[in-house]
Structure 1
């Protein structure tokens, strides 16, 4: 038995990849979607297509590393729709490199987006959840939260930290708040395109021979969101059947 009531779902990093797939799936399932990302033009294209298919979606520019902007985004969603039921904290970057290369600016970028972005989302949405007595945080982590390979040390650290934050929130919260961590394996996305280190980029090309579509991760999110209020799906790992590490 699932919960099919219409919900207000905020999605970050929604202009491509998993975030886009989640936004489209939530709208197709009848939920009200509020989608944010830095690429506003891409968001508008997605919104046009979602509305043409009968879905309900609001879009706007959002940088999750800016706490004030994140709070304003969630507050506006709550004021417009009367509540926020779900935050899908999806925005992330994967800038793989050997630690010895000392690409410290890329380390900082991953910490800012993957970890501080999640914390900023929690800071924005938790007061709303508390005021209405319910809510659901869905954090999109990574298989990197469970497995470290050469070049993934810092990335995996940020994703493990994201897992730890979500688990801590789950244990601390009242029963009305649900917390889910979805950890994708190799998934169709633009993440690998931003790797600047040539060794890591070449290794990722080989690693990505087997991928799952972003829609598979969106389906996992939908499964967790649509459970009855008393059911909290805490963690889901989704990866290609051929993926081993």
Structure 2
């Protein structure tokens, strides 16, 4: 059983405004649906924008307030050179984002900047080099996206995702990630406090619904059932059993650190 992060679903208070913001900052292919907006990052992952109250209700968190402050995760995207990092950060700030760290040279020759979107998600944009290869030819386009989860126990979190079928790529003391599926987002793990420090935010326990649901698209109903069984056997918590939904046959659970997931089979 393979497992991948196929879509990152964001709960936003104003979907129309969020649609405009993400279209400007990530250069996606945008497709509007009745319940959500699909953002195809052209081979570098998928995002979806939902009304935050509807998304919370879907995963059984409808009675929880939306988390204030740091929500425990950071989205990242990679671009080719520093001028694209600056362009992406500047575009985000013009669109209403809060600048958390200005675009500048980082450790080991990389270049990065961090902002918080108007709907509260923290994003880090980075290039692997601190030297431009040439002038920017257009809007920054992600070459890879990742969801970094702040966890309490790296060993336990890594074991949980391996039990779901993920294959570890890099594994260090304060960072681990998994091989992404084709066109999917990369999933990474960091100690929560380390992750908060990296992006320049306070590590207070925000509590409440994190306004994000991670989504795996399964190949069959049997895979949905097997994934839910593996999740609950390795420290996750099911939000009810698998059932029919607007997305097909679906199951919802949280990982050991409380991050919500849904697994669907069309």
Give the TM-score band, short-chain normalised.
Answer: 0.3 to 0.5
TM-score by length of 1: 0.35
TM-score by length of 2: 0.33
